[in-house]
Each structure stands twice: as C-alpha cells, then as structure tokens.
Amino acid sequence: MLLTIQTGQDNPILRQKTNKVKRITPEIKELILNMIETMDAKQGIGLAAPQVGQSLQIITIRPDPQQPAIVLINPEIIKKSFKKDIVEEGCLSLPSIQVEVKRPVSITVKAININNEQIKIKTDGLLSRVIQHEIDHLNGILIVDKK
Ligand code: ZN
C-alpha cells in the first residue's frame, strides 16, 4: 500500500524525535513493507518512518535498485570518520529543495533488522550518506537545517 509522504519543513511530525520500536509486531512489518513500496514508487533511495506519519525509529534504504532494500530499526551510529565530504542532497519531504550537506564519509551503524536480529554495518559513500540523512529524520532534523 502506498503511504502519503509528509512534506514541509515546519510539519510537526517531521520535527519531533521518534520513539524506539519495542517489538516487531505484524503491524510494524506491514508498515516497513509499505515504506519500501512507497520509497520505490517515489524513486527515493531512503525513507524514514516520520516521513509517512509514523513517529518511530525505522528507516528503509535502497541506494541501488538492483539490490534488496535495507531495513534499519532503532539505528544508532556508533562510529564516524573524522574525514567529511560535501554532497548535494534532496529529500522526498522537501520537494524541489537541494542542499549541500557536509557529513562524515564513513560510519558504523548498529540496528536491528526486520527479523529482530542485531546488525552492524560499516560503510562509506552513498550508503553512508543516505543512512545519516535518514537517521537525521528520526531526530527531527532536515537538510534545510544543515545550510
Ligand atoms: Zn529526507
């Protein structure tokens, strides 16, 4: 099911801190599948639950359409590189806005996946950037704050 994307930099749901997911219920799994479907339909490479009106710590990511989507629940960045770079980013919640954002090049993130397994991802490049962008959403931070 396609979900409605919340838009606007003053939209309250996009500005609040999200809640941790306590249990991966069938409803949570359904939300995740709908998020992936919505992300793909909008040709986004990442989506955070507040963007579909759910104040929960869930992100879905698919930087490469040939690869399966990555689901991170309660993600936490545990390490980031000193080295940063600047890349122009867009956001499904801020259509027609592009912002140059400075971020650490590589990160290590821990989270749980849809099967309630602990996972740890060390990555750089586009995946690192998308994960950081989506985790910002979980803290009510938008790219316009990064100007
Ligand atoms: Zn975004």
**Mean per-residue pLDDT pooled into runs of 10, the chain (147 residues):** 97 98 98 98 97 98 93 98 97 96 98 97 96 98 94
Determine the distance from the C-alpha atom of residue 74 to the mean position of all C-alpha atoms in its chain, rounded to a whole number. 11
Q: Residue 48 burial (CB < 10 Å; 0-12/13-18/19+)?
A: buried
**Which pLDDT value is given to residue 147?**
79
pLDDT of residue 141: 98
pTM, to two decimals? 0.97
d(CA 40, CA 16): 25
- What torsion, rounded to 10 degrees, do the Cα atoms 113, 34, 104, 126 define? 100
What is the distance in A from the centroid of ligand 1 to the CA of 93? 6
CA–CA separation, 70 vs 86, rounded Å? Answer: 24
Q: Answer yes or no: 27 catalytic.
A: no
Q: How far is the CA of 74 from the centre of ligand 1 (A)?
A: 17
| C-alpha 14 to ligand 1 mean position (Å) | 9
Residue 74's pLDDT is 98
